[in-house]
Structure 1
Amino acid sequence: MRFKSSSAFYQELHGFCIERLKESFNPDSQLFDLRLHNRHWGLVEGTENSSSTAMVLIALHRADIDVEGLFSLQIKSVLKALTDLHRFPVYHETLGLLIWANAIWDGSSLSDLLQELGLSLIKIPALTRNLKSAELAWLVSGFAHEYRRSGEQDVLETLKILLTQLQLRQHKTSHVFYHYAHNAPLRLCYRRHVTTFADQVYPVQALAFASILLKEPGYLQQVQPCVQQIVDLQGKLGQWWWHYDARNAQVLQAYPVYSVHQHAMAPMMLMALAAAGGKAHTAAMSLSHAWQDHNEINANMTDREVGTMWRDIEYDENKLASSFRKARSVMGQTRDRTSRLPKLKIRYDTWPYEWGWCLYAQAIATTAPPSQHLI
């Protein structure tokens, strides 16, 4: 198979991402909260209005997009709408993304932002007990970029506490990050070993940021074995599997295989590692990109007619079978990916952050970071 260069791969997707993001911006809410669902536009669900909006803001800034000109929006209005969401505790899970976006767009001071939400720096570490590892990593990344902006000592002290908490989430021998902390509430802790691909991507990225920002090679050294483990498990067609057992790094649930993991999140992780001085997994990244059009069901996940990248390839099964499969994962029963291929289907959705992270990955692959960004 002949691989496209990263620049050629992303150049084809760039226009799709810009046009769909224009459509995903909701002038009524001032958020990027509209998605494609079964090929039709509708509102996102849950806290996705917050996470997608913050990720898109981060991406548009890194890609140096003329946001106010192309999107007919005011960044201050979007940041205010995003901040207003975080007045509700359910949105604590995306607080790190808000802090990250606020820092790079030079919004409110962190102390003013937290005060507006009824929070303070001293309260932040206690919030992490209920957070997934990906969400804790967003906090680390947010504080890293805030410290780059402000240089304030109390921000650095909180960042170091969060870094220690994140480091403790990594299994000592498998090198994979758990889904939750060891002291998470029982309702969450029972499945802490069932970790996700996102629980690897964002911690690696966050610790790479910290290694660059603080000039501490120990953070890089900690995540290199994690990345190598995940790369070793990459599918023959470039697939990044979804669920792993953090205790032994076995794949628990192969599917869904998400397009955003292939075109954006895995490349983000690999490029962050390389930027911090780690190994450049160029072959794994090329294979990851190639999956978009050369995959297990011979489908083009990049729909050039619609102008999007469809969400995933997933199991085609009923709710009972899905529940049984997930229960097996919690019990640590792996699914053999080399046996007869299960029945699969495409999910015809795309969420705003998928277009955003694609632009972010493209920017990292093709341009030097502006001063507000670490990578």
Structure 2
Amino acid sequence: MTMIISPNFGVKLLVPTASSKLSHNSPLVNYALNGLERCWLPEHRRWSHIFHLDGRPSPNESVPNSDVFYTLNVLLGMSRVAGIPSGLDLPEIFSRNASLLTRLPVRKYAFGMALWSAAELGLETPERVKRELTAILADESRWKSFRAQDIGMLLTGVVAQARAGENEWWRYAGPLFRFLKERFHSESGLFFDAPFGFRRRFSSFATQTYLSIACYQYGEFAGDASALVMADTCVRNLIALQGPQGEWPWFFDAMSGRVLDFYEVYSVHQYGMAPALLEWAERFGQRGSRDALVKGFNWVLGQNQLDRAMLVPELSLTLRSQVRKGELTTKAPRVLRAVKNAWLGKGERLIDGTDVEVRLECRSYELGWILWSFGQRTDLPELTNNCAFGGA
């Protein structure tokens, strides 16, 4: 294999051969690993919040609390990768960043990601992180402030720890699932974004993904059929709402089960988070899940409204999203549109492609989801070995 020494990771892949550790990975996985090298912040030993793709001289933007969460997400993905780049000490990176959870203003879901990634990597969660999280989980009155991503990640992390033999966490799994079932599950089959209040009905694709994965994880490990039914029902509804070119809608009315706004269409949903969820759906025999995965992934390869691949091959990075023109820097129109559509009982469709533009950035966690979703898959060579990633 031809290699160059990099000041970041240590080794940068150029041409993989059978003699290299990285040759055990698919071209897609190596693409993501190479992209992550661009996002690496060596002075902090973590991956960045944003890598800007607009040509600025210093493209990496660091936001410490976001960096740390994204780094834990990347480490989760690394747990499924056969060949890790030289120079990456995963236990050290995990310990350094997980320890910061008690010092930075992070959301509760970051603690869930720490539990999940630690379990998958076979690492010990820092003691002060355990203490703070135990206090949160032991006081159910604090759960009222949880958003969907909080409870989804926490339940997934608790189950992952129990599966790894850390039984101290299992006592929280049942109560967390019951709270999820009582306060986040809608009769429409989708999930609410919050346990209380007007805002709860306005839920995102991320809401559906994190809570469905949590239900699959809990249902399988606990033998709870109701959790599996909830996850399967949500996936079935999502597949029915998928766009004509594989777009996963961003915003839903969880009360009615309608799409309120397709935009932004995020690349990470297409190649990372939806495949992570649909892997579970495939395992439990959900009809159409594999086709939906492939169709969604092909959106990234150029089968989309702009007829544009959402890749930056020279940097091994991805373009974050396709967004309505004029909405790159404001959410106000999207919020008003969603409220109006919910009030009028209207669903939303895709708009004309001439009114869509691209968000020129890549976030490290997005590449982490590629590693998690495809690090161990060998059954989709049309995706993992696609020529877009250097495959045959």
TM range (shorter): 0.7 to 0.9
Contact 1:220 / 1:273 at 8 angstroms: preserved in 2?
Answer: no
Relative contact order, higher structure (CA 8 A, sep 6+):
1
Report sequence identity in percent.
21
| SS at structure 2 position matched to 1:313 | strand
Report if the CA contact (8 A) 1:31-1:82 is conserved.
no
Report how many aligned residue pairs link the two structures. 348
Q: Give 1:321 deviation, angstroms.
A: 7.7
Q: Secondary structure at the match of 1:225?
A: helix
Counterpart residue type for residue 302 of structure 1? L
Contact between 2:213 and 2:231, CA under 8 Å: does it hold in 1? no
> How far 1:318 moved relative to its partner?
5.3
**Match of 1:354?**
366
Aligned-residue offset at 1:251: 0.9
Cα distance 1:321–1:359, how it changes in 2: closer, same or farther (>3 A)? closer
- For residue 181 of structure 1, the aligned residue among 180, 191, 195 is 195
Residue deviations 1:51-107 (CA, integer Å, cap 9, x gap)? 2111111110122343xx524335234323222233345343311001112222333
CA distance in 2, matches of 1:219, 1:207: 5
Aligned partner of 1:194 in structure 2 is: 202
User: Paired residue for 1:144?
Assistant: 159
* Alignment-derived partner of residue 181 in structure 2: 167
Per the alignment, residue 245 of structure 2 pairs with 237
1:50 is matched with which residue: 41, 61, 68?
68
Distance 2:101 2:330 in 1: 36
Kept in 2: contact 1:121–1:155 (CA 8 A): no
Partner of 2:215: 207
Is this contact kept in 2: 1:260–1:311, CA < 8 A? Answer: yes
Work out which of the residue numbers 13, 16, 27 in structure 1 matches 2:42: 27
Aligned to 2:228: 220
Q: What is the one-letter code of the residue matched to 1:21?
A: L
| Cα offset, 1:32, TM superposition | 1.6
d(CA) in 2 for partners of 1:262, 1:91: 24
Give the secondary-structure state (helix, strand or coil) at the position aligned to 1:346.
Answer: strand
Q: Cα offset for 1:170?
A: 4.0
Contact between 1:33 and 1:44, CA under 8 Å: does it hold in 2?
A: yes
Q: Look up the match of 2:378.
A: 366
Q: Which amino acid aligns with 1:179?
A: D
2:318–2:362 contact (8 Å) kept in structure 1:
yes
What is residue 102 of structure 2 aligned with on the other side?
86
Change (3 A) 1:211 1:335: closer
Q: Report the Cα distance in structure 1 between the residues aligned to 2:327 and 2:90, rounded to whole angstroms.
A: 44
Normalised to the residue count of structure 2, the TM-score between the two structures is 0.80
User: What's the CA shift string for 1:108-141, capped at 9, x where partnerless?
Assistant: 35766322x4753753644432222122111011
Question: Conserved in 2, the CA contact under 8 Å of 1:111 and 1:120?
Answer: no
Q: Check if 1:345 corresponds to 2:357.
A: yes
Give, in whole Å, the separation in 1 of the partners of 2:125 and 2:267: 35
Contact 1:205 1:273 in 2 (8 A): no
1:315-352 CA-partner distances (Å, limit 9, x unpaired) = 11158985133123134254631565561101111100
Q: Bigger CA drift: 311-320 or 57-66? A: 311-320
Q: TM-score, normalised by structure 1?
A: 0.84
Question: Structure 1 residues 309, 30: CA separation in 2 closer, same or farther (over 3 Å shift)?
Answer: same
Which consecutive residues of structure 1, in runs of 5 or more, have no partner in the other structure?
1-9, 183-188, 368-375
Find the counterpart in structure 2 of residue 371 from structure 1.
Answer: none
Give me the whole-angstrom Cα distance separating, in 2, the residues matched to 1:73 and 1:110. Answer: 16
- The answer to whether the 8 A contact 1:114-1:121 is kept is no
Cα distance, 1:281 vs structure 2: 1.2
Counterpart of 2:148 (choices 105, 130, 133) is 133
Alpha carbons 2:320, 2:360 under 8 Å: kept: yes
Q: Which moved more, 1:335-344 or 1:241-250?
A: 335-344
CA RMSD, aligned part only?
2.6
Partner of residue 302, structure 1: 311
Letter of the 1:229 counterpart: N
How far does residue 276 in structure 1 lie from its aligned partner after superposition?
4.1
Q: For 1:15 and 1:320, locate their aligned partners in 2 and report how far apart those are by CA, in whole Å.
A: 32
Q: Which of these residues, 307, 325, 340, is aligned with residue 316 of structure 1? A: 325
Alpha-carbon distance in 1 for matches of 2:34, 2:246? 27
The question of whether the paired residues in 1 share the 8 Å contact of 2:265 and 2:323 is answered with yes
Q: Conserved in 2, the CA contact under 8 Å of 1:96 and 1:135?
A: yes
- Aligned position for 2:117: 101
Q: Which of 237, 257, 262 is the matching residue for 1:254? A: 262
- Matched residue, 1:76: 92
Letter of the 1:205 partner, please give it. I
CA positional deviation for 1:306: 2.9
Partners of 1:103 and 1:110 lie apart in 2 by 12
Cα separation, partners in 2 of 1:309 and 1:171, compared to 1, 3 Å: same
- Tell me, which stretches of 5 or more residues in structure 2 are unaligned? 1-24, 380-392
Code of the residue aligned with 2:78 in structure 1: it is L
AA in 2 matched with 1:176: L
What letter corresponds to residue 97 of structure 1 in structure 2?
M
For residues 52 and 61 of structure 2, what CA distance do their matches in structure 1 show?
Answer: 9
Aligned to 1:13: 28
